[in-house]
Each structure stands twice: as C-alpha cells, then as structure tokens.
C-alpha cells in the first residue's frame, strides 16, 4: 500500500501561459517513455523478479508517480487559463474538442497511452535492461523538451527530473550486477 504526502517531490513553477509547451510536455505524461509508462512498468515487474531487487522497483516505481504528478501540475498550469483560440493556435484544438482543458494520458502527437508501451518479459535480465533503456529514453525526452522550452522556471523542474532519470538508470545497472553475482564466489572474507 501507499501513503500520500500532499506536496510535490520538487516545486513546479511556470513563468508564462504557454499551451504549446503543454503539448510537448504531455509526452512525459502519456508517452511511451513517459512517467506513467515508467511507474506501471516497474511496479508490475516486481512480482516475478528475484527478491533482491523488488525493493528497488517499488521505490523507483513510486518515485515515477511523484514525477507524473509534477508533469501533471506543469501541464495544468500551462493550460488552465488558455482560451480556446490559444489552445487551437498551440496545436491543441483536437485536444480541446475532446477533453476541453482536462489532462489526458496521450503523447505529444495526441495518441492515447497504451499498454504496448511497457513490457514484462519475465526474464530478470531482459526486464532490467528494458528499464535501463527506458530511463535513458526518458532522459533524452527531457532534453528535447528543455531544448523546445524557453521557460526558465519550468526548465529548472525539468532539469531535476532529467537528473533523476540518470540516477535511476544507474540503480538499475547496479541491480543487473547484483543478479549477475556468483553466489558461491561471494564468500570472500
């Protein structure tokens, strides 16, 4: 089970109303390498992975939900007071027609989130390599969004999230090393 803390993992501040930036950011909300995919991927893999790395998947999967909440806050702030005309000009006309200003799990191109974004192979090495690749892809996505954004406050939060991807990737690589360890040769001292 989970306990909820009613605050963001890292503060989110948005300088200006910019619905087009929201359209790009939604990639990290409901895109293939976004935070929703990450959280669901890791939390689902926990059940069939060796017990030494279950805790890591729980911790990182939980943190991804905290990231999802930050992205949601950004998207909400960027669009909450936008006029229908502004939404249309930002390329969100189709989104507005279907969802008004509601958030939706979709990628930057407007395709809805799908479970095909995540895998669960059941092979611990294959699953962890998938996780490492997902973290690197999410890091790259943050980079491309930072390149597209000229909002300094928002970029501050995005740089925090990009750094977390780097740390998570390392933790998953450490998990692979743990699963590679030869149990018999571990008795060193």
Partner 1 sequence: MSTNFKYWEPYISPFDPCPPIRVKVYSTPPNLYMTFQPTGMRQYKTAKEALQHGTLWPELFSPYPDSPKRGELDG
List 27, 64, 106, 130, catalytic entry: 64
Asked whether position 174 contacts partner 1 by CB under 8 A, the answer is no
172 HSE (CA, 13 A, CB side): 28
Show the binding pattern over residues 6-45: x = contacts partner 1 (CB under 8 A), - = does not: ----------------------------------------
What sign has the CA pseudo-torsion 4, 156, 26, 43?
negative
Neighbour-count burial of 166, counting CB atoms closer than 10 A to its CB (0-12 exposed, 13-18 middle, 19+ buried): middle
* CB of 169 vs partner 1, minimal distance in Å: 17
Instruction: Reply yes or no on whether 67 is catalytic.
Output: yes
**Which residue in the set 85, 123, 163, 174 belongs to the binding site for partner 1 (CB under 8 A)?**
123
Q: How far is CA 138 from CA 23, 97, 130, in A?
A: 16, 29, 12
The residues, ordered by sequence, that sit 6+ positions from 148 with a Cβ below 8 Å of its Cβ are: 21, 24
Regarding 186 and contact with partner 1 (CB under 8 A), the answer is no
Cα end-to-end distance, the chain, whole Å? 38
Q: Would residue 27 show up in a list of annotated catalytic residues for this protein? A: no
Q: How far is the CB of 41 from partner 1 (least distance, A)?
A: 18
Name the active-site residue from 27, 35, 106, 130: 35
CB 155 within 8 A of CB 13: no
Mark 47-66 with x for binding to partner 1 (rule: CB under 8 A) and - for no binding.
Answer: ---xxx--------------
User: Contact between 125 and partner 1 (CB under 8 A)?
Assistant: yes
| φ, ψ dihedrals at 127, nearest 5° | -65, -40
Contact set with partner 1 (CB under 8 A): 50-52, 123-125, 176, 179-183
> Which residues participate in catalysis according to the annotation?
35, 64, 67, 135, 165, 168
């Amino acid at each position: 089970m989970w306990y909820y803390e009613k605050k963001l993992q890292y503060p989110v501040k948005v300088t200006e109303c910019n619905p087009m930036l929201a359209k790009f950011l939604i990639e990290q909300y409901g895109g293939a390498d976004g935070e929703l995919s990450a959280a669901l991927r890791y939390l689902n893999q926990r059940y069939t992975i060796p017990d030494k790395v279950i805790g890591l998947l729980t911790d990182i999967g939980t943190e991804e939900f905290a990231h999802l909440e930050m992205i949601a806050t950004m998207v909400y702030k960027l669009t909450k007071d936008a006029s229908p005309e502004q939404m249309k000009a930002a390329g969100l006309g189709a989104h507005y027609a279907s969802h008004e200003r509601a958030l939706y799990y979709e990628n930057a191109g407007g395709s809805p989130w799908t479970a095909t974004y995540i895998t669960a192979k059941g092979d611990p090495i294959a699953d962890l390599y998938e996780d490492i690749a997902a973290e690197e892809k999410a890091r790259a996505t943050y980079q491309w969004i930072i390149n597209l954004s000229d909002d300094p406050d928002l970029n501050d939060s995005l740089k925090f999230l990009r750094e977390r991807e780097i740390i998570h990737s390392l933790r998953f690589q450490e998990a692979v090393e743990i699963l590679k360890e030869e149990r018999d040769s571990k008795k060193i001292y």
